[in-house]
Amino acid sequence: MEQERTLYESLLIFDQRKKLIATLVLLFGGGSVLYCLFATPIYRAETHIMPSSQGSSSAASAMLSQLGGLGGMIGLGGISTNGQLFIGVLRSQTVVDKIIDQFNLMELYKGKYRLKMRDLVISDILSTAEDSKSGIVTVAAVDENPDRAAKMANAFVEELKNVLQSLTIGEAAQRRVFFEQQLIQSRKTLDDVEDELQRYQEKSGLVVMEPQFQAMLESISTMRAQVAAKEVELSSLRTYAQSDNPSLKRATTELVALRTELSKLEQQQVQKTNDENQTTSLRDAPQLGLEYQRRLRDVKYASAMYDVMMRQFETAKIDEARETMMVQVIDPAIPPDYKYKPKRAQIILLATLVGLCIGLTWTLIADYIETMKKEFVQKSKTVGE
């Protein structure tokens, strides 16, 4: 067998078959040009998002605890950053199904099986990446329609927000739910006791304003206390004084005067109803007033409880907003005005190189076969001689 060819000899072989090499190069290069001219253009729209730093760590932990085993199924088990968490949620079945239904991708791509359509969305339509330094996450969508590509990219972000909002149930959110229920119950209790007070006022006729009514009750209570004290004093005098004792007579006269004054107060009307047919006598005012004060106390207590629950509810809502992992959109997706694919220069260059490589390889193989045939014929002649 001949010795290995030199570079010069190889170049001579390529020169001898240069037409074949040129034909293959032109064939592949021209085919790539035609492909680029008639291929459907693909557009890529992208949006940039950033996780909120406030309360994000606790929110991520809370969300993973809510996901449980599902987090590992969608690739969230070993997350180290919130950006990776976002990417995992974006690729989840929940988000992908929402996008498929929203843009009717099953009909658009003529898909028969939803499972394969999910794989198509994740592998070909959706593109995600996280910047390791800044933590900014890029969410991109590709489509033949630039407007639809932009809408899909923004829809992915909106669905991400919805999923995070529904799954982030931390301590503050639980407090918010608890105080919301307590607030509703407190409001119902307050309405009930206010209605009870109103019905009692309509029934008893005690519809005066609270300060005036309280002043009347205090006057009656003071007068009854004075009458009781004078009765005790008179009983004490009767134990040792005669009936004509000046002190006994004076005490008796004062007691009669006090009772007369109390009777006058009790005979006064507290308030009349609008038709002035029903009145409330001050004789019954202490008993009515005691019940009124009890009902009024219930109203004040229910009102105070409602105020406390309202403050606690507002505080819990603020804490929940701080704890919830927020998605901050830096750059919303807009319809692109340039084609993402096909990349013409790369395709033409690659196809030309492929054609050249095939031509050179074909030339070497053909020359090798031809050389082997010549050697075989020469050896056959030598053996025949």
What CA–CA distances, in Å, run from 338 to 36, 45, 333, 344? 15, 10, 14, 13
Distance CA 360, CA 17 (A): 9
Structure tokens at 177: 């739910």
Other Cβ atoms within 10 Å of 110 Cβ, number: 8
Q: What is the mean pLDDT of residues 52-63?
A: 50
Other Cβ atoms within 10 Å of 73 Cβ, number: 12
pLDDT tens, position by position, 260-272: 887 777 666 444 3
Q: What is the mean pLDDT of residues 189-199?
A: 85
So what's the pLDDT on residue 76? 46
Looking at residue 74, the DSSP 8-state letter turns out to be T
Looking at residue 40, the DSSP 8-state letter turns out to be P
Report whether pLDDT(373) > 70.
Answer: yes
Report how many helices (DSSP H) and strands (DSSP E) the chain contains, helices first. Answer: 14, 6
- Exposed, middle or buried: residue 274 (CB in 10 Å: 0-12, 13-18, 19+)? exposed
Average model confidence (pLDDT) for the chain?
76
Lowest mean pLDDT among 27-31, 88-92, 152-156, 334-338: 27-31
So what's the pLDDT on residue 63? 47
pLDDT tens, position by position, 201-247: 777 765 544 565 556 656 766 676 677 776 766 776 676 667 777 77
Look at 381 and 348; give whichever has higher pLDDT.
348
Q: Predicted confidence band at 385 (pLDDT cuts at 50, 70, 90)?
A: low
Q: Predicted confidence band at 289 (pLDDT cuts at 50, 70, 90)?
A: low
Distance CA 73, CA 273 (A): 73
Report whether pLDDT(257) > 60.
Answer: yes
So what's the pLDDT on residue 382? 72
Look at 321 and 157; give whichever has higher pLDDT.
157
Contact 53, 327 (CB under 8 A): no
Q: Predicted confidence band at 169 (pLDDT cuts at 50, 70, 90)?
A: low
In angstroms, the first-to-last Cα distance of the chain is 20
pTM to 2 decimals? 0.51
Closest CA to 256 of 236, 282, 234: 234
Report whether pLDDT(70) > 60.
Answer: no
Cα-based angle 163, 88, 331 (whole degrees, multiple of 5) = 75
pLDDT tens, position by position, 106-165: 999 888 899 999 999 999 999 999 988 888 999 999 999 999 999 999 999 999 988 887
Distance CA 51, CA 85 (A): 10
Q: What is the mean pLDDT of residues 278-307?
A: 67
Distance CA 17, CA 128 (A): 48
Distance CA 263, CA 257 (A): 10
Structure tokens at 233: 């004093």
